[in-house]
Structure 1
Amino acid sequence: MHHPGPPRFLHVGESVELAPRNPDMSAAFVWRIVDQPAESSVTIGDGAVVHLAPDVPGIYRVELDAPDDVHTQTVRAFPDPRREERFSVAADEVDGDLDGVDHAAVIGQFNDFTMGMHRAERTGEGDRSSEHARADGNAGDEWSLDVALPPGTHEAIFAFDDEFEPHATSEVTVEGAGRPRVRLDGQREDDEIVVTATADAAPDGSVPSVEFHLDDRDALTRDAVTADGETLRAPVDVLPKLSRVHAVAVAERHSIADTLTIHIEQTDERTRTVSFDRPADPPAWVCDATIYEIFVREFAGDTVDTTFAAIERRVPYLESLGVDAVWLTPVCESPTRHGYHITDLFDTATDLGTREEFASLVDRLHDAGIRVLFDLVINHTSRDHPAFQLQRAGVPEYADHYERVPTAQDTTGVDWAGDDAPGHYFTWSRIPSLNYDSLAVRDWMLDVVDEWAPLVDGFRCDVAWGVPHGFWKEVRERLKARDEAFLLLDETVPRDAAFRENEFDVHYDTDLYAALREIGIGDASASSLFDALDDSRRHGYPDEALHMRYVENHDEDRYATDCDDGSLRPAAAATFTLPGVPMIYYGQERGVPTDRGTMRWYDGDADLTKFHRRLVTLRNEYPAFRAPGVEPVACDIHTGDPDRVVAYERGTADERLVVVLNFDSDPAIVAPDRAVEQTDLFGGSVRNGNGIRVDNIAVLPTSDQG
């Protein structure tokens, strides 16, 4: 079916892409707006994939004329929460020579890190106009850019003369409410189904109201249901086999939508069985999982090349760590060691081995009880991919496969063929972005998804923020229809709760990552990790959302290399003892000093490896660490730096544990403000007088349990 999918929710000032699902390259697709607010003058373009940019708040209904039917889709636009703010960088804040520099490319989440889209001009003191600065010969003292931003803290990178050497960052905080949240639950009451929305106010926000929306794909219509406040009701006998109810919480801002699916089964002439499910929730297995990332080509060691067979022979090590899932960096054909410049999306890399050898590795990991996450790279390809070469060479069939930007926006310095340039993020000119306005590209990438999904247990999705939301929603439904346990992990940097809306199961936690770095280098107190956890709520993630907690990955410097001695252990312990899904980056546990360095097998840090094994075991042994909720615990610090110590309580109704982390190189003597048992479950600390000696982590049961 070509129906474009569920209702879409956005605010004025945003644009939503609309596309037929299961694209048919030979078919004709026509869009039209059939209903919109009276004050709206917005129109919709031609083509199979279109973009709707609401100009006033309200409900817009569009129709897609497709070969199989005429399909309706609802788009709900909310008021624009943004206001104009200024990013600025002064000359004395830049570490580098700025002689002759007169402009900077400015990138950030507000423009998807696209170089050349926004440029700041150098301006003189007392007058912000670049014309004035040039007219009076003023050397200039700052670069600035005004941009509309929603409430929250935002960062922009100023790349001078469109290069990252030198560069500087600017941060602004927009006051205002975060995003509210909503959760849907359902039950049967006699001859009715009752859907209840639990709305949660945002930090600094007012109590939200709730809007219910039905799914345009289903036979359930608005006149068959009754919505009153936070409750929706419908008679069981009017319900079709499948109904989807969506809800949004609305206050100063709108929440991401939650979805409840209602299934009706006719067991006999008089009996209709009702069941409910929450399609956005992650599979149960990942809630208890530990992920291990392998940077593939550096895993085997420094005297042999890594192959699938070489990794397979090292699976006993992964078993010994106790990890539940392995994320392999890209294994498709690529000329690079990191593998993200892919030249063939349908086959394994020649240097790593054959498709059969990859399948053998997956089977061996499955035999060990370890799931496999495939690194799905569908935002871009290598510019050496035949499809990109054919596009730049003017082959008509490939004309729309990659994004095109005006040459005036290009910052690469490459003399591109033609009168335009390829779209890309950052300075990634070697990996041009695919064009999802093309049905051919959507069909191609769905084929890639279908090619690898049957072999593995999940996808880690590279540059997830660069692929349209509508496409990810289609991918999720496609995969979950085959296997509800299939996992989708997003790389969304920085975090964006919109990717939780029926798209991804687990999300990068860039806030905790950054906080642990700041703690490690001594620029923030250990208690700042609580602020990072609170950011999840401000962003609008529901409590049931899962976040991947990590201290390093293949895109970041090693934690122990950047931070103070001794801080890696408590930082890693935080990722295992806070709610979420902990991830170990290969070599983190062996003391590898560089971000993509060779795995240290024979000369690794044995004590550090033992420490990580103990973290995995601890999390598996105690359900408290897999429960929701974190309660800060105050401590008396008898010896040590109070800013380097943090404590919190985790637990269930039957088990409460206090975790104390010490980020200092020297031991701390700590007394939590609640009664705790004498025994440290981690085994690394001893009682010292009236306190507990904490080298890096102590785990203490509360003494008032049951």
Structure 2
Amino acid sequence: MYALAPGTNVGKYPLVTNGYLPTLGRRPIGVFPKGLGSVQRVVKALVRSPRSARESSPPHYSRLFGLQQHTTCRHIRRQRSIGRLVVTSIATPRSDSGTDYVLPESTANDDLDWVRESIVYQIFPDRFSRRPDGMDGDDMHFEEWGSPPSLRGFQGGHLLGVVDKLQYLEELGVNTLYLTPVNTSSANHRYHPTDFMAVDPLLGGEAAMRTLLDAAHSRNMRVIVDGVFNHTGRGHQAFVSLLENGALSPYKDWYNVKGWPIKSYEVPENEVNYDCWWDIPELPELNYADKGVRAHILEVGRHWLEMGCDGWRLDAPFRVPMDFWKEFRSACKEYEGAYLVGEVFGHGPEWCGADCFDGVMNYSFGSLGLGFFGKAELQTDTAIGGDYLINAIGAEEFARGVDAMHRAYAAVEGPHPSFLHLNLFDSHDTARALWMLKGDTCALKLNVLMQMTMPGPPMIYYGDEIGLVGGRDPACRGAFPWHKPESWDMDLLDFYKKATNMRQSYRVLRLGGFQRVPVRPSDGNPSMFDELYAFVRWCSSEEGEEEKAESAQTVAVVVFNTSTQPASVDVSLGQFQVAQNVAVAGKELANVWQGEDGEASEGGLVSETGELRGMTIGARSAAVFVGAWYKKETITSSSFRAGLLFGKSLYRQR
């Protein structure tokens, strides 16, 4: 894939298509290719150029331009003054070396180890839990808890309600909370900030926030908050000053105003005379050319970390100058262990490293998993939204996507970001996973297993674990049904608990290296090849073995079968053991995860040629084979073997 640098005028590159032309949106975004020289699908719209511009098209792609899969309309902005499309996110070139990318094990041992060990739970504060002392909206106008979610209505969620549910979250296996904005705002989602420094009184104010931080930290839980620094709401003090004082306001340069007086209410989008997010009048954009704006946002970054928050999730970072994020990082890194993660759709290596964020919201991860495990039951219509298009894929395309996902960040300076991305498949910005999967709980479970066995912290969107459904905003933001426990999918909740427990029990699943390994049906059935996917994780030691780190090895082999039939498979570890100098030949692996039908093999012996042969994997299921040994001698002590057998029993699904 050809890489386009920021600022590239993509309008000059001519395109061809596969004949499919969707309805053109108001903000066209382009296409992405499949393989070399052909277009897989049109994401949103086309950009054509004059014939005379073709001489300047990218090499090898004279008939199309390529954007990384799921690069979206948020990453391309229209410059109205010159009428062209400008790329604001770099597409990563795809390697055609024919080899799978090998992600080394994480050995960073720095102040972000807590992130690598995290299982993250995203909370939308207005809809998670009300205050435990019975505040039901008697003194405020709240919608009934659990009523159909609306764009404008509030349902009365409270930070003390989150405190009340920490035991539930701990039992779920969660050790990190990610809260969408808690600053004061006129909107229920609080992405229209009116004061970056203040906790919304509707959520309990600063006292409730400090109570939550203390309660979470007492349970060894971390708390990440959401920063919305591209814009303010119209109610922000600085913007109100402009409305009331016009060009004489001390905050005149905090916004890009094109004429006075400001037209902010009851005005058509095309007549708004100041820069605002997506031409929405209630979201005036901040002017980062102004030193006062920069100084204030840096102060905000420090303020919440000083309060005790453990990190920032940064909303829409591509709308803020890149050089500012370097300043923001420097300010936040004054606090030990501060974590920065950006909302970046698609691959974003330019957003990671020493000058920007530690990781990104890994939507690429989710789109691959939903496409592979959802298949025929996948919801693919536009109600999912332009930011997150999902398409059914087979094992080979899934494997290429996972390879590209890790390879994209290989050149990032410092620890590999793949261990710091938040791996998710839904959020407050997308439809819920079960909606996209048309209620296919089995496909959701496979996605969860992918989350819990691949590198990077898993992120659970509140309520997914009990089967909440809902389309795009606002339907995806329904209230957690604490008042209706009979509606919970208890089997799914039990599954989540077992999966998180497995990840927490095996360090290799959290910090181990990652490499795809060949898997094939034992009988050679050609229809099964695109239903099977396998990878290996490895690390130098497990908990309790640190003193033997140079001599101890732990290996996990994970195998997925997406077909509707059980499969006997052969997994080849030969290339892996040579490349990583991990001797698996002759070693025994035990399955610590059984599918719901209990058909998976309990384990097996790796042959001298590095083959794990004849392993049975249940229909639409997975197996996780784990073994540990010293480099020169297999660990056969009764205590270790008992541990594996206990694990197998613990994780066997009903």
Question: Would the TM-score normalized by the shorter structure come out above 0.5?
Answer: yes
2:570 to 672, 676, 688: 672
- Mapping for residues 208-287 of structure 1, pairs under 5 Å: 283-287=112-116
The number of residue pairs the alignment matches comes to: 489
The CA distance in 2 between the partners of 1:177 and 1:311, in whole Å, is 39
- Name the CA shift for 1:151/1:453 in 2 (closer, same or farther; >3 Å): same
Query: Does structure 1 retain, via aligned residues, the 8 Å contact 2:531–2:562?
Result: yes
How far apart are 1:390 and its partner, in Å? 2.9
Aligned in 2, Cα 1:325/1:467: closer, same or farther, shift over 3 Å? same
Residue correspondence of structure 1 range 495-644 to structure 2 within 5 A: 495-502=347-354, 503-522=356-375, 523-535=392-404, 536-538=406-408, 541-542=411-412, 544-545=416-417, 546-563=420-437, 565=440, 566-594=442-470, 595-601=476-482, 602=485, 603-625=487-509, 626-636=511-521, 642-644=529-531
Match of residue 295 from structure 1: 124
Larger helix percent = 2
Assess, with a 3 A threshold, how the Cα gap between structure 1 residues 577 and 533 changes in structure 2: closer, same or farther.
same
Contact 1:109 1:494 in 2 (8 A): no
Give me the whole-angstrom Cα distance separating, in 1, the residues matched to 2:278 and 2:64. Answer: 20
Q: For 1:477-492, list aligned pairs within 5 A.
A: 477-481=330-334, 483-492=335-344
Structure 1 residues 554 and 93 mapped into 2: Cα distance closer, same or farther (>3 Å)?
same
Contact 2:72 2:345 in 1 (8 A): no
1:171-216, Cα deviation, whole Å (9 max, x unpaired)? x9x9x9956xxxxxxxxxxxxxxxxxxxxxx8359xxxxxxxxxxx
> Equivalents in 2 of 1:443, 1:600: separation in Å?
42
Say whether the 8 Å CA contact 1:632–1:647 is kept in structure 2.
Answer: yes
Any idea what the Cα deviations from partners look like across 1:522-580, whole Å, max 9, x if unmatched?
22013433222322323655462232211111101111211252211111211221111
1:551/1:572 contact within 8 Å kept = no
Give the deviation of 1:334 after TM superposition. Answer: 1.4
Map of 2:225 onto structure 1: 374
Q: Give the match for residue 321 of structure 1.
A: 172
CA displacement, residues 658-687 of structure 1 (integer Å, 9 cap, x when unaligned) = 1122345x4532323258857420233334
Q: Deviations over 1:36-56 (max 9, x none)?
A: xxxxxxxxxxxxxxxxxxxxx
Q: Is the 8 A contact 1:635 1:647 kept in 2?
A: no
Q: SS where residue 421 of structure 2 aligns? A: strand
Match of 1:93 in 2: 21
Distance (whole Å) between structure 1 residues aligned to residue 91 and residue 165 of structure 2: 49
Matches within 5 A, 1:2-21: none
- Higher alpha-carbon Rg: 1
Shift of the alpha carbon at 1:692?
3.2
| Residues 123-144 of structure 1: per-residue CA shift (max 9 Å, x gap) | 9xx9989xxxxxxxxxxxxxxx
Higher relative contact order (CA 8 A, sep 6+): 2
Please state how far the C-alpha of 1:702 moved relative to its aligned partner.
Answer: 5.7
Q: Read off the aligned partner of 2:506 and give its amino acid letter.
A: Y
Decide whether aligned partners of structure 1 residues 633 and 296 sit closer, same or farther in structure 2, where only a CA change above 3 A counts: farther
The aligned amino acid for 2:408 is R
What amino acid does structure 1 have at the position aligned with 2:124? Answer: F
Match of 2:539 in 1: 652
SS at match of 1:286: helix
CA distance in 2, matches of 1:437, 1:109: 33
> Hey, what's the Cα distance between the residues in 2 that align with 1:177 and 1:434?
27
Q: What displacement does 1:520 show?
A: 3.9
1: CA distance between counterparts of 2:5 and 2:403?
A: 27
Report deviation, 1:329.
0.9
Alpha-carbon spacing, 1:157–1:698, altered in 2? closer, same or farther (3 Å): same
User: 1:451 Cα shift?
Assistant: 1.9
Counterpart code for 1:589: E
Give secondary structure in 2 for the equivalent of 1:86: coil
Task: Answer yes or no: is 1:203 the counterpart of 2:95.
Answer: yes
CA deviation vs aligned residue, 1:432-458 (integer Å, no higher than 9, x gap): 221101111112212211221112111
C-alpha distance in structure 2 between counterparts of 1:382 and 1:631, whole Å: 46
Change (3 A) 1:663 1:282: farther
Aligned to 1:686: 599
> How much has 1:690 moved relative to structure 2?
6.1
For residues 140-185 of structure 1, the C-alpha deviation after alignment (integer angstroms, 9 at most, x for no partner) is xxxxxx9996885685659xxx9xxxxxxx9x9x9x9956xxxxxx
Instruction: Decide which of 643, 653, 662 is 2:561's aligned counterpart.
Output: 662
Change (3 A) 1:519 1:429: farther
1:541–1:300 CA distance, 2 compared to 1 (3 A): farther
Q: What SS is found at the alignment partner of 2:28?
A: strand
Does the 8 Å contact 1:623/1:651 carry over to 2? Answer: no
Give the % identical residues: 26
Residue identity opposite 2:616 in structure 1: G
The equivalences for 1:27-106 within 5 A come to 84-86=12-14, 93-95=21-23, 104-106=26-28
Alpha-carbon distance in structure 2 between the residues aligned to 1:440 and 1:579: 40
- Is the 1:680–1:686 Cα contact (8 Å) retained in structure 2? no
Q: 2:622, 2:451 → 1: CA distance? A: 12
Query: Quick one: distance in 2 between partners of 1:12 and 1:556?
Result: 27
Structure 1 window deviating more from structure 2 (454-463 vs 299-308): it is 299-308
Instruction: Map 1:135-174; keep pairs closer than 5 Å.
Output: none
Query: Contact conserved, 1:83 with 1:150, CA < 8 A, in 2?
Result: no
Q: CA offsets, 1:498-531, max 9 Å, x none?
A: 2213221122223222212322442201343322
How big is each residue's C-alpha offset from its partner over 1:290-324, in whole Å with a ceiling of 9 and x where there is no partner?
11111111111736732111111111011111222
- SS of equivalent residue, structure 1 residue 580: coil
Taking the aligned partners of 1:425 and 1:701, their CA distance within structure 2 comes to 49
Question: Could you say what secondary structure the match of 2:408 adopts?
Answer: helix
In 2 relative to 1, CA 431–641 (structure 1 residues): closer, same or farther, beyond 3 Å?
A: farther
SS of match in other structure, 2:186: coil
* Residue aligned with 1:501, SS: coil
Aligned 8 A contact 1:380 1:431 in 2: yes
Q: How many angstroms apart in 1 are the aligned matches of 2:18 and 2:234?
A: 36
1:649 and 1:636, CA in 2 relative to 1: closer, same or farther beyond 3 A? same
In terms of fraction of residues, the more strand-rich structure is 1
Deviation, 1:701, is 2.7
- Separation of aligned partners in 1, 2:616 and 2:458: 29
Give distance in 2, aligned partners of 1:343 and 1:668: 56
- Code of the aligned partner of 1:499: W
User: Residues 415 and 392 of structure 1: is their aligned pair in 2 closer, same or farther, counting only changes over 3 Å?
Assistant: farther
> Is the partner of 1:533 in helix, strand or coil?
helix
8 Å contact 1:637–1:668 — kept in the other structure? no
TM-score, normalised via structure 1 length: 0.61
Q: CA deviation at 1:591?
A: 0.6
In structure 2, what is the Cα distance between the partners aligned to 1:527 and 1:109?
21
Aligned partner of residue 395 in structure 2, secondary structure = coil
In structure 2, distance between residues paired with 1:12 and 1:559: 31
